[in-house]
Amino acid sequence: MIVKTLPPTSRNTEDEPQVTEVFTENGKSTLVIRSPKRIIDQSLETDAILYDPQEIGEYYRHRPLKVLRRIFAVLGPTLSFVFGLWWDSRRGIDVKKDQRRAVQLRDLLTKLGPAYIKIGQALSTRPDLVPPAYLEELTRLQDQLPPFANEIAYQFIEEELGAQPQEIYAELSPHPIAAASLGQVYKGKLKTGEEVAIKVQRPDLRERIAIDLFILRQLAAWVKNRVKRIRSDLVGILDELGDRIFEEMDYIHEGENAERFFELYGHIEDIYVPKIYWEYTNRRVLTMEWINGTKLTQTAEINAQGIDARYLIEVGVQCSLRQLLEHGFFHADPHPGNLLATPEGKLAYLDFGMMSEVQPPQRYGLIEAIVHVVNRDFEGLANDYVKLDFLSPETDLTPIIPAFARVFADAQGASVADLNIKSITDELSALMYEYPFRVPPYYALIIRSLVTLEGIAIYIDPEFKVLSEAYPYVAKRLLTDEAPQLRTSLQNLLFKDKKFRWNRLENLLRNAKKNQDYDFNLVLNQGVEFLSSERGSFIRDRLVDEFVNGVNAVGKNALHNFTYVLRERVGLTAVNETPGATVEQQQTLEHIKNILNILQATRGFDPLQLAPQLAQLLVNPGVQRLGQQVTNRLTQKAIARLIRELLAAEEVNNSKGDALNKPARASLPARV
């Protein structure tokens, strides 16, 4: 291999890119273009690769011809492809089944560059949107793109790691085993024997992405200013995507993401995160542990290994819930090429370049929104949209609440959890134009992540419902999380007009026990701790009232049965039959019985361990206060009942005395 640097083609050396011509052994050459501009291809000595839309805009505003050439390079083949589809449909050809057109679309996106390849990758996970012929071709965009020359990759390895590849690795595959939008991957082995994957970045990456982001950003600003129906921050959404893509081009940042991901989620059962080898990693080269695995969408191969693909997608959903709702650090690009089933039956995550974060207020707002959707509390859902910054605080929610009810009207008679995220987002998207909604920038990557994951789930099991799988985790968080926002949400869920809604508590407990991290000891200890604290005073006071009603119902039913036996079977008719519990008290008693049955079926419930647990709870000061409160309420009710009965007896005696003391009425003798 011969590397030769060509001289600049003009005097303007500051703006002119450096062109390196690489000659391979067969005589062919490849041009490697490096722009001296920091915003396009920053120096290797800089600390990070950052997306700066202002600097990019300043750079390209002085190069209108370059921008125009790129616009025509995108529009020309795109319009040609669209016209071809239209013409085929006019000739009666079913374009949805046309394999030739599917191949053309894949080739078009590949030629347009990384930004458009990522669009194709997102579509490749949506079997509910993309016809099978196109889906198969778009799937190849995940890791089967045309590779760049080995010589360039080897040059980058030497530049980044300071030695030639054969000096660093004991083995290196002769060709890339996968090529994606931003780089390509080789399989290798370290001198110490570990099998590794070596990812090398594409040479012309940043300039192609920067100019596409500039054009799309200009278009977004134009649309935002001229189309009044669009109130979302399109520019902000694009900048959020730009930040993530530029971070993805920094492999040191990706390695740090992988280690953080492992710290937060590596302990989850059947989740696997590969190791990063830092001594062989730099900005454009990443060396990580080699993972033997199968794409989640290759269900036949997975099942042949005796692995349940549906179980692994359930594991992925639970992991995603923790990413989005617990720690906030989430994988924003979970397409099938980045999720593998290992031979050991674990779900391995790959490619940690595109990650994002959800801040605590947004995390709690999302949990509350899920709760309100599942429980059809559309007033609460409308307020959630204000908290999540979809609606401004001054927005009149009066017409929006019934609009939410209409969106979910097709779920009447079935749980909203049975709907899928795509159908909900599609329905809600229609409301965005009718009411003053705006899409905050952080939401775009969240919904992309969820919809991509749901697409994989639907591919594996068309009946898979992400919301249904998510609600047990959300229920567990509501019952155990000490965050004030969720405690308030729990209070609003369980009480309406100061009346306790037992069916909601039953539903929460029934769903929470399905979560693998939830057990009897957890709910018992944290429940008692919360109820005995000042924060739980509102719920505690009303629960005590409901519990006392239940005890009263038991007492009334027992006394009613006892007096019934005395009168009907023993024959003591002098004994008055005591009335049983009221309908409301009986319903409370039934709810308490149901909850006890749910707790008995909860993971961790052990009758043999119950006595020691109760003994420990009895010495808990909070439990003692609760017991005193229940005893006081029962005593107050007993005294009140005794006073009522004494007053009633006195009224009866007084009425009898009045009847005896009343003078007899004089009457005339009857006529004979």
Residues classed as catalytic: 333
Report how many helices (DSSP H) and strands (DSSP E) the chain contains, helices first.
Answer: 25, 16
d(CA 115, CA 181): 8
Strands 355-357 and 347-349: unpaired
Task: Look up residue 109 and give its amino acid.
Answer: L
Contact 448, 332 (CB under 8 A): yes
The CA-atom distances, in angstroms, between 130 and each of 123, 136, 321 are 7, 9, 26
CA neighbor of 15 nearest in space, from 58, 72, 44: 58
3-state helix, strand, coil in the chain (%, to 5): 60, 10, 30
Compute the chain's Rg from CA coordinates.
35
Cα-flanking dihedrals φ and ψ of residue 538, to 5°? -60, -50
Strands 2-6 and 29-34: unpaired
Which pair of structure tokens corresponds to residue 660?
A: 């005896």
The neighbour count for residue 629, using CB atoms within 10 Å, is 17
Cα pseudo-dihedral 435, 441, 445, 446, rounded to 10: -60
Long-range contacts of 411-419 (CB under 8 A, 24+ apart): 415/374, 415/468, 416/373, 416/374, 416/376, 416/467, 417/374, 417/465, 417/467, 417/468, 417/470, 417/471, 418/465, 418/467, 418/468, 419/465, 419/467
Measured CA angle at 266 (ends 513, 337), to 5 deg = 100
Strand partners of residue 2: 23
Which pair of structure tokens corresponds to residue 570?
A: 């023993």
d(CA 138, CA 380): 40
Coil/strand/helix, residue 435: coil
Contact 340, 348 (CB under 8 A): yes
The CA-atom distances, in angstroms, between 440 and each of 148, 177, 193, 235, 321 are 37, 38, 48, 10, 20
d(CA 436, CA 584): 44
Tell me the H-state helices in 179-228: 205-226
259 exposure class (CB count in 10 Å sphere: 0-12, 13-18, 19+): middle
CA neighbor of 478 nearest in space, from 509, 520, 516: 509
**Torsion 255-257-263-265 (CA) sign:** negative
The CA-atom distances, in angstroms, between 323 and each of 330, 338, 382 are 5, 16, 24
